[in-house]
Structure 1
Amino acid sequence: MGILQRFLGKITKRDKDVDAPVNKEDLANSSDTKSHLKDHKDIEIPPITVTVEYSSSSRTNKKTESSSSSHYTYQKATFTPDDYVVLDFETTGLSPEKDAIIQIGAIRFRNHHPIEEFVSFVNPRRPIPPKITDITGITNEDVKNAPTTEEILPDFIQFLKDDVLIAHNAPFDMKFLLSNVQRLGIEKPKNLVIDTLSLARKYIAETPNHQLETLKQWLQLDLSSHHALDDCWACAAVYQTCQKRRKEKFHLSDDEKQAYDTVIRILNDHNRDTSLVRYSRTSTYLDIQAFYSFARIKLTGRKKYLLSKRLEQEIIELCPGVVCEPASKNETGQTRILIQTPDDLLLVSPLIVKEFDKALRSMEDYRKYVGKAEKVIEDYLSL
Structure 2
Amino acid sequence: MILNESLFCAMDTETTGIDPMNGDRIVEVAIVPVYKGRILYRSIYHTLVNPKIRIPATIEKIHRITNEDIENAPTIEQVFGQMRSFMRRSIMIFHRAEFDLTFIDISAKEIGIFPPSIDYIDTREISEIIFGEKKALSWLAERFGFEKPNHRALTDAITTAKLFLKMTRKLAGSQIEELVHTWRGQEW
Using structure 2 for the length normalisation, give the TM-score: 0.83
Residue 178 (str. 1) matches residue 105 (str. 2) = yes
Q: Is the 8 A contact 1:204 1:242 kept in 2?
A: no
**Residues 104 and 121, structure 1, Cα contact 8 Å, conserved in 2:** yes
Instruction: Trace 1:1-383 onto structure 2 (pairs within 5 A).
Output: 81-82=3-4, 83-97=7-21, 98-115=23-40, 116-205=43-132, 210-247=135-172, 382=179
Check whether the contact 1:123–1:144 (CA below 8 A) recurs between aligned residues: yes
Hey, what's the Cα distance between the residues in 1 that align with 2:154 and 2:121? Answer: 18
2:3 alignment partner, SS class: coil
State the shift of 1:174 in Å: 0.6
AA in 1 matched with 2:8: Y
Q: Deviations over 1:225-271 (max 9, x none)?
A: 11101111111122112211113xx79xxxxxxxxxxxxxxxxxxxx
SS of the residue corresponding to residue 214 of structure 1 reads helix
Question: Using CA pairs below 8 Å that are at least 6 residues apart, which structure has the higher relative contact order?
Answer: 2
The CA RMSD measured in Å over matched residues stands at: 2.2
Structure 1 unpaired stretches of 5+ = 1-78, 252-277, 279-380
> Hey, what's the Cα distance between the residues in 2 that align with 1:187 and 1:112?
32
CA distance in 1 between counterparts of 2:91 and 2:59 reads 29
Rounded Cα–Cα distance in structure 1 between residues aligned with 2:163 and 2:12: 14
Kept after mapping to 1: 8 A contact 2:8/2:93: yes
| Partner SS for 2:135 | coil
Query: Runs in 1 of length 4+ with deviation above 4 angstroms?
Result: none
Please state whether the residue corresponding to 1:221 is helix, strand or coil: coil
Partner-residue secondary structure (3-state), 2:72: coil
Distance 2:86 2:164 in 1: 20
Task: Return the offset for 1:224.
Answer: 4.1
Query: Structure 1 counterpart of 2:48, which letter?
Result: F
Deviation at 1:101, TM superposition (A): 0.3
Q: State the TM-score, normalized to the length of structure 1.
A: 0.42
Superposed CA deviations along residues 103-134 of structure 1, whole A, max 9, x for unmatched, are 00001111122221110111111211111111
Change in 2 beyond 3 A, CA 1:209/1:178: closer
1:191 Cα deviation after fit: 2.5
Using the alignment, how far apart are the partners of 2:53 and 2:110 within structure 1?
Answer: 17
- Aligned residue type for 1:153: F
- Please identify which structure carries the higher helix content: 2
Contact 2:147 2:159 (8 Å CA) reproduced:
no
Aligned equivalents of 1:151 and 1:140: distance in 2? 18
Q: Indicate the SS of the match to 1:81.
A: helix
Whether contact under 8 Å (2:55, 2:67) holds in the other structure is yes
Q: Percentage identity across aligned positions? A: 26
Structure 2 CA distance for partners of 1:195 and 1:80, relative to 1, 3 Å: farther
- Residue 124 of structure 2 aligns to a residue whose secondary structure is helix
SS of residue in 2 equivalent to 1:99: coil
Amino acid at match of 1:212: L
Greater C-alpha Rg: 1
Give secondary structure in 2 for the equivalent of 1:188: coil
Query: Per-residue deviation at 1:139?
Result: 0.9
State whether residues 124 and 134 of structure 2, in contact with CA within 8 Å, keep that contact through their aligned partners in structure 1: no
CA shift, 1:190, in A, is: 2.0
| Deviation for aligned residue 1:141 | 1.4
Structure 2 unaligned segments of length 5 or more: list them: 181-188
Aligned to 1:259: none
* Counterpart-to-counterpart distance in 2, 1:227 and 1:107: 13
